[in-house]
Structure 1
Amino acid sequence: MKAHFTTAMQPLFVLMWSSAFIAGIIGVGAAPPMMVLVGRYVIGGTLLLLYAYAVGARWPRGNTLRHVVIAGLLMQIVQFGAFYTAMSHHVSGAIIALIQGLNPVVIALFAGFLGETVTARQWAGFGIGGVGVALAVADQSAFSATGLVLCLIGLLGLSIGTVYQKRYAPQVDSRASTAVHAAASAPIAVVLAVTTGQWQIWDVPHFAAALTWIVLVNSMGAFLLLNAMLRRWDATRVGRLFFATPAVTALLAWLLIDQPLRPLTIAGLGVGLLGLVLASGRSAARTARPRPVPAR
């Protein structure tokens, strides 16, 4: 059973992560982006803390806790604050997924910092995967310069946060680290919502539906899987899964919110899959002296 679940982790993660773009668009259509952040982390953080305590998760302490908090703020507040705000500027979920799909390339640039070596075959896979990502959303509507900058900020938050956690807190219990990420983000989200005046909801039913999905499936399920995979595999192997999210997002948008699925999107699916296959080789670990274990 455990072996089957490990095999299913990667496609399940891609599906759960991709659905976040659809739920996010619905959410920011019903409330301001910072209010979506508040709901995501106040509710999600509470549930994750209760879950982690219930299952007896081992909590990080000392410097390790500080590293987990920093990684969490990058992966949560910076990433989703920027992406939700971009959605409120009418940037489509597919475009955001396209830019987020560059995550494995950014992570690969930091591979040396993690003691990993990216092979020529993996670089080729990254390049082909990037072409597939571009094809999958090439016919989407244009977006503003502000939207582009916000998307790039969100990408950097995710990529740097992933690398930071892999470098400084790789062995932390994934259930505890996910709870810490959300709990640490909750007060920051509240402050952002209050200071920007984004403290209202104009479509309660749609907001509640989107938030339920975001909290249970995205904040809890997807990030529990992400942190669990970061414990098992190297960062480039985990990062390359993001190449699949734009095409899957386009499929979900077609099925759920009636966005058209055009020939370029279908072509992108095939090219992106080829990139994933080429990039599927394991990164080589460099021989180095062991680093001191951070204090807990």
Structure 2
Amino acid sequence: MVKAQLGAVIQPLFVLLWASAFIAGIIGVGAAPSLMVLFARFGFASIGLVLYARLVRATWPTRAELPHVIVAGLLMQIVQFGGFYTAMGQHVPGAVVALVQGLSPVLIALFAGFLGETVTARQWFGFVIGGVGVALAVADQTSLSLTGLALCGVGLLGLSLGTVYQKRFVPTVDSRAATAVHMMASAPVAGLLAWATGQLHIWDGGRFAASLVWMVLINSMVGFLMFNWMLRRWDATKVSRLLFATPAATAILAWLAVGQPLRPLTIAGLAVGLIGMVFASRKATKPAPVPSPEPVAVR
């Protein structure tokens, strides 16, 4: 009973915390350039995650695994968040970014054969519906630029390719240590890119510090711990379905926290996108095997 009650609290709390990352990102890129935000986030998060990995005695990648973990980390951190944060800096609504991020299974499905997986007709239908949802969500965003939408595509590509790469080359690596390596590898790259593009400055120190504390402690640490807590107790499908509620939660939080408007087409797009994601997550169920009759003992 206690576990069930704890699960009932953990699930909606996790959705809110996951969605809040987009709000913190919106506030952060309003206080400093996107690469400066990423440099600070990755730097401080790497310290916290390394300490956590050592505390729980996580298994670190081997010398052969380490290069693959780094490549996956750069794709999932630098490319994904570099694209998404820069898009938010160009006034792409956080809910739209969350919806685009949620469509990563579409690209991952394109590499299904490479991963030895199959995609059902029902899932492809969900991918198409999800794409329609994105189109509706951005249809009435008159301030959106093609550059902002292209940056969302870059972020989606980074997340999808990074996921495929890690599944293909290091599928059994300890996620706790791997995430720490992702952050350690991404921090200096973000710093170099920020320096090369002249983005090592801050416009609003107070807002920058507040968003950074939230992103590091709440999103990178608490959210990560909650995610792993759920994965240890429930199957991955049940946990991943919680992410379907992220775009809607992000839209509501963005409306409450930073005043981003909730337009009718945006709401319709989020609803359609949610339906598409649910379809995309459902795999065809295999019929239960019929048990063979036990042999009769001969006496």
- How high is the TM-score relative to the length of structure 2? 0.82
Match of 1:184 in 2: 185
Q: How does 1:42-81 map to 2 (within 5 A)?
A: 42-81=43-82
- Whether 1:25 aligns to 2:30 is no
Q: 1:96 to 1:103 in 2, by over 3 A?
A: same
Secondary structure in 2 matching 1:62: coil
- Whether 1:15 aligns to 2:16 is yes
| Cα distance in 2, alignment partners of residues 270 and 163 from structure 1 | 27
**Contact 2:14/2:226 (<8 A) preserved:** yes
Q: 1:163 to 1:239 in 2, by over 3 A?
A: farther
Match of 1:163 in 2: 164
| Cα distance in 2, alignment partners of residues 181 and 107 from structure 1 | 20
Q: What do the CA deviations read for 1:51-103 (whole angstroms, capped 9, x no partner)?
A: 11011111111221211111001000111112222222233323323332321
Match of 1:294 in 2: none
- Whether 1:254 aligns to 2:252 is no
| Cα distance in 2, alignment partners of residues 150 and 120 from structure 1 | 29
Match of 1:217 in 2: 218
- Whether 1:203 aligns to 2:204 is yes
| Cα distance in 2, alignment partners of residues 264 and 131 from structure 1 | 12
Match of 1:152 in 2: 153
Secondary structure in 1 matching 2:64: helix
**Contact 2:28/2:37 (<8 A) preserved:** yes
Which stretch shows the higher mean deviation, 149-158 or 206-215?
A: 149-158
| Cα distance in 1, alignment partners of residues 216 and 278 from structure 2 | 31
Which stretch shows the higher mean deviation, 205-214 or 138-147?
A: 138-147
Which stretch shows the higher mean deviation, 242-251 or 48-57?
A: 242-251
Which stretch shows the higher mean deviation, 148-157 or 48-57?
A: 148-157
Q: 1:124 to 1:269 in 2, by over 3 A?
A: same
- How high is the TM-score relative to the length of structure 1? 0.82
- Structure of higher CA gyration radius: 2
Residue 48 of structure 1, CA deviation? 0.5
Q: What do the CA deviations read for 1:105-157 (whole angstroms, capped 9, x no partner)?
A: 11111122111111111222222233334434543233223222222111111
**Contact 1:69/1:180 (<8 A) preserved:** yes
Match of 1:89 in 2: 90
Match of 1:291 in 2: none
| Cα distance in 2, alignment partners of residues 243 and 264 from structure 1 | 18
**Contact 1:133/1:243 (<8 A) preserved:** no
| Cα distance in 2, alignment partners of residues 57 and 50 from structure 1 | 10
| Cα distance in 2, alignment partners of residues 230 and 170 from structure 1 | 15
Match of 2:297 in 1: none
Q: What do the CA deviations read for 1:160-204 (whole angstroms, capped 9, x no partner)?
A: 001111221121111111111111111111111222221111211
Q: Which amino acid letter does the alignment assign opposite residue 188 of structure 1?
A: V
| Cα distance in 1, alignment partners of residues 68 and 225 from structure 2 | 17
Residue 6 of structure 1, CA deviation? 7.6
How many equivalent pairs are there?
Answer: 284
| Cα distance in 1, alignment partners of residues 53 and 5 from structure 2 | 23
Match of 2:111 in 1: 110
Q: CA RMSD in A?
A: 3.0
